[in-house]
Chain A
Amino acid sequence: MDFNEAQIERYSRHIILSEVGVEGQQKLLESKVLIIGTGGLGAPAAMFLAAAGVGTIGLVDADSVDLSNLQRQIIHQTKDVGKLKVVSGKETINEMNPDVNVITYHTFVNASNILEIIKDQDYDFIIDGTDNFGAKFLINDACVIAKKPFSHAGIIRFNGQLTTYIPDNNTPCYRCMFKEPPPEGAVPTCREAGVLGVMGGVIGTLQATEAIKYILGLGETLAGYLMTYDAIKMEFRKIKIKHNAKCGICGDEPSIQELIDYKPPVCSL
């Protein structure tokens, strides 16, 4: 576990923290985080995880960079418009921190590929940075089945929410809180409703915080809580959520036996 001079300097502010220290930084460098969606949430999460020295970062996205993305997706630059998001993301990360090994998956997740992607590098933690309910339930169910901890989050307009799922811990999953996706049209998608650019920054950064804390075994995560953020009122709330014994995926008698593709994805930003 030798750090080179550059690494000592780069991570010095982590190493100074007794809660991180040499061992913690080593853990980060050896850790693997999968980020699904390289958009509003995924971009800041990826940037901070890369800066923190997470050794392996997987990026999943099928889209290309659009000029309208740049209001919030800070991992992409104007010169990247038209480029695949996963490629643009990898380039930005490597320029910032060459210690990070970026693995790209140029696809959307679906019922038939998600478990393989998770298993590909045996990721330690998964970040849901998608923007549609179908994908969110898919990621939730896949992580429950694969017994992987993950951070769920969503943003819309001036509001955001997130929670953390940790397997084998009686943690409620996303489906414990919300039984199934809302009927089509009930909730506006980003494209229809708009979103304040910083929302992804705030919530995505909190997701990165959860990942780092999970990797370091530090403090308390949002397992068992749904955190909401209202940027208009400038109000954070932490709502305690119990595991739902009747949950379709992690309940006592799960009704979902295989992954579901909710179609069509309402929005594919």
Chain B
Amino acid sequence: MLKIPQEVIQEEKNYRNKVEELKNGILEAERFKPYRVSMGIYEQRDNDTYMIRTRIPSGVVTLEQLEKINSLAKQYAHGYIHFTTRQDIQFHKVTLDDTVNIMEELLKAGIVTRGTGGNTARNVGCSPLAGVSTDDVFDVTPYALATTEYILKDPTIFNLPRKYKIAYSNSPEDTGNATIADLGLVAKIQNGQKGFELYGGGGLGGSPNVSIKLDDFIPAKDALYHVQAMKELFENEGNRTNKHKARIRYILQRLGEEAFKAKYQEILHKVKNEKNIDLIVDELSIDKQPAASIEVTHPLVVPQKTAGYYALYIHPENGNLGASHLDQIIAFIKQLTYEVSIRLTSTQGFFVRDLLAADTERLLAITSAFTSKYDVDNSVACAGAATCKLGLCLSQNLLSAIKKEFEDAEQEIKLQLPRLFISGCQNSCGQHQKGEIGLHGKAKRVESGLVPMYAVLFGGAVGADKAKLGVDHGMLPAKKIPAFLLELAWLKKESGLSDFMAFLEQEKTSVCQLFESYSSIETESENAELYYDFGVAEKFSLKGRGPGECSAGVLDVIKLDISNANSAVCDFEKTNQPEKLYAASVSASRALLILKGVDTTKDRVIFKEFIHHFVDTGYVKTQVKKLVEDLLDYKLGDINQLDGHLDEVKYLIHKVSAMYESLSPKLEITLQKEEEIKKAPELHEEIQDEALNIVDLKGVKCPINFVKAKIEIAKIASGRLLGFYLDNGDPIANVPKSLEAEGHEIINIDDKYEGYNLLVVRKK
């Protein structure tokens, strides 16, 4: 079983306290959210219901764990579990209190949820039949599990610019999705040595691309150097200010393939010099002895490489498995006299592996009651608008409707279509770009109203040297999709071709015609049905849609504190209540402490830590210590007023904002320290040498002071210095920042004057 680091266990145990703090009003909801999300708990579309996502590392789950999960589902989550497209299990529609109970119970079974949401390394993907499939190059599971252990040990992994997806495959067929991952490792043997073909920079979702090949062969023992190198590349180059453009594929798109590879190699070289993380995997596992038996042929049964053993695929509709069904499966496995293994897939189902022939048939007899043998029925559909805040369409209801459409069709028709991949929106939780047929939800506004639509993609694939994204062929009204697919299946049957892509190629014209015939959107009076999504009595709308949560992170918390500080200052200026000024100081001092690992609500600790981390280190002037003393005196009731401190508090907020804005991709403060600004001697000389011209902007209000500063700067040559007198408060807080944003260099801000400052600027 996975070794869970103590820190992670502690953090999970602390979740209960956080929920208590939230309920008692000590912790604001906005501050709680990133914390909650990092624990794999997302708020669903209905307020106050939550989804909790486990980390089933690489889909490897024991029977005992599955039993535990099932009992929790019965107790807290409406008696069902959901299998995801990242080899995980989720509980849905859970209350906040029960998320605590579930987390604590899971921990007892050795299952964590930490890092299944938020900006971190997500579940490490792995071929579900690694070690047993007939095309198995070698068993990559131990490597995938070791990778999970490695990343969980690293506390900095929880603060990446965005998610980091790693995947392993046991053969070039890439059943682990390594060729569409941020880092993908595909098993390969070269000169008798185990290793991987290395891929990187891929991903679905917005601006998707398949991975590029980074190396033809890396020795298997080097895997973790690559895991580390890609992580550091992400930290160095990832976009932290725009979460929508943060994933590693955007770095690839920005730098281009050559520069990306060069940068990667450079970092890899450094990592290899600095670290010793050779991965030595226990090679003791012995292949099974062949077992004599009858042969089982069934679409859901995969013969393993050792003769006589089988893996049975179990795919509940939409990945949702009821507890009673799972009970039956568990009970069956329990009475077996030998070990079987369970592996979750990335297709919302799971395999029971290492079954003997007769048992395979017996288990199949049980699961047939609630599964189907046809690929189209075993399609993938994300949760969609049913629960997800980002969802547009009800993707799972579409899949149910498709199944219904095919229900009465003859067997041969049911066999025609490959598995569909359906996402409720353009974000690819249903992995629509990887399917031979992919669908993703859209909304189209026409004169009579909003219509739920799906974009139809054809031809996606994963695999070493053959991964490609599906191509968008246009969109159809959601309500016409089932009939369209049924007719597509008929067309394919008539063509006599078994391969779907070959059929598309040969019958291009008739498929296009078919597409056309289903694409019209009638008015509401002609065809009202089109204006309703599947299974809903209400007209289609975007109601309930909201921003996604999965990227919530520490930067949101910092922004929140700074904005709280600024609004408290505004309140003070209106009301003159000293507690507002006090509150502003607390918020400002607290904002950046999260980066230093300090998380407290105690004012005294906040001030102390702020001084320790930012005043004593020179980022903020030492005068702030005096301000803090007065603030604490005020809090104790020793003084009643904080008048005269407004400018200092504004300075404090200004500095904190500046430090925040200066954060590097690695979250280091790059702002020049106050002392360095003061001490830079050559600058002072230069200022004196030049007999600095100073423009007096005292008494000139924002933004006219900025306008005048620009006019004066326009008169001097590039590279020359110019000084400005600017009043305390808004002018000194705003004008330097604005000039800096225009590209000019702030040389010095001298505040030794009474009520105003001397700003020295070098023209760009």
Contact = CB atoms under 8 A, between A and B. Distances in A.
Interface in A201-218: none
B704 interface: yes
B708 interface: yes
A15 B705 CA distance: 11
A18 B741 contact: yes
Given A1-B714, A23-B714, A8 B741 contact: no
Interface string A1-32: 10100001100100110100111000000000
B206 interface: no
A3 B742 contact: no
A15 B704 CA distance: 10
Given A18-B741, A18-B742, A8 B703 contact: no
Contacts of B708: 8
A16 B710 CA distance: 8
B711 interface: yes
Interface size class of chain B, counting residues whose CB lies under 8 Å from the partner chain: 10 to 19
Contacts of A15: 707, 710-711
A16 B711 CA distance: 10
A16 B734 CA distance: 13
Interface in B698-724: 703-704, 706-708, 710-711, 713-715
28 contacts: A1-B714, A1-B715, A3-B711, A8-B704, A8-B707, A8-B708, A8-B711, A9-B704, A12-B703, A12-B704, A12-B707, A15-B707, A15-B710, A15-B711, A16-B703, A16-B706, A16-B707, A16-B710, A18-B741, A18-B742, A21-B710, A21-B714, A21-B742, A22-B710, A22-B711, A22-B713, A22-B714, A23-B714
Nearest to B713: A22
Interface in B671-719: 703-704, 706-708, 710-711, 713-715
Nearest to A26: B714
A236 to B, nearest CB: 15
A22 B711 CA distance: 6
A23 B715 CA distance: 10
A157 to B, nearest CB: 19
Given A16-B706, A18-B741, 10 more contacts: A1-B715, A8-B708, A12-B703, A12-B704, A15-B707, A15-B710, A16-B707, A21-B714, A21-B742, A22-B710
Contacts of B713: 22
Nearest to B738: A16
Nearest to A14: B707
Interface of A: 1, 3, 8-9, 12, 15-16, 18, 21-23
Interface in B55-95: none
Contacts of A16: 703, 706-707, 710
Nearest to A18: B742
Contacts of B710: 15-16, 21-22
A22 B715 CA distance: 9
Interface in B282-299: none
A230 to B, nearest CB: 13
Contacts of A22: 710-711, 713-714
A9 B706 CA distance: 11
A265 B711 CA distance: 49
Nearest to A8: B707
A72 to B, nearest CB: 28
A15 B741 CA distance: 14
Please name the 3 residue pairs, one residue from A and one from B, whose CB atoms are nearest each other, closest first.
A22-B714, A12-B707, A15-B707
A23 B703 CA distance: 18
A8 to B, nearest CB: 6
Contacts of A23: 714
A16 to B, nearest CB: 6
Contacts of B703: 12, 16
Contacts of A1: 714-715
A176 to B, nearest CB: 31
Nearest to A233: B447
Contacts of A12: 703-704, 707
A18 B704 CA distance: 14
Interface string B394-413: 00000000000000000000
B736 to A, nearest CB: 15
Contacts of B711: 3, 8, 15, 22
Contacts of B706: 16
Contacts of A18: 741-742
Contacts of B742: 18, 21
Nearest to A21: B710
A91 B704 CA distance: 30
Contacts of B707: 8, 12, 15-16
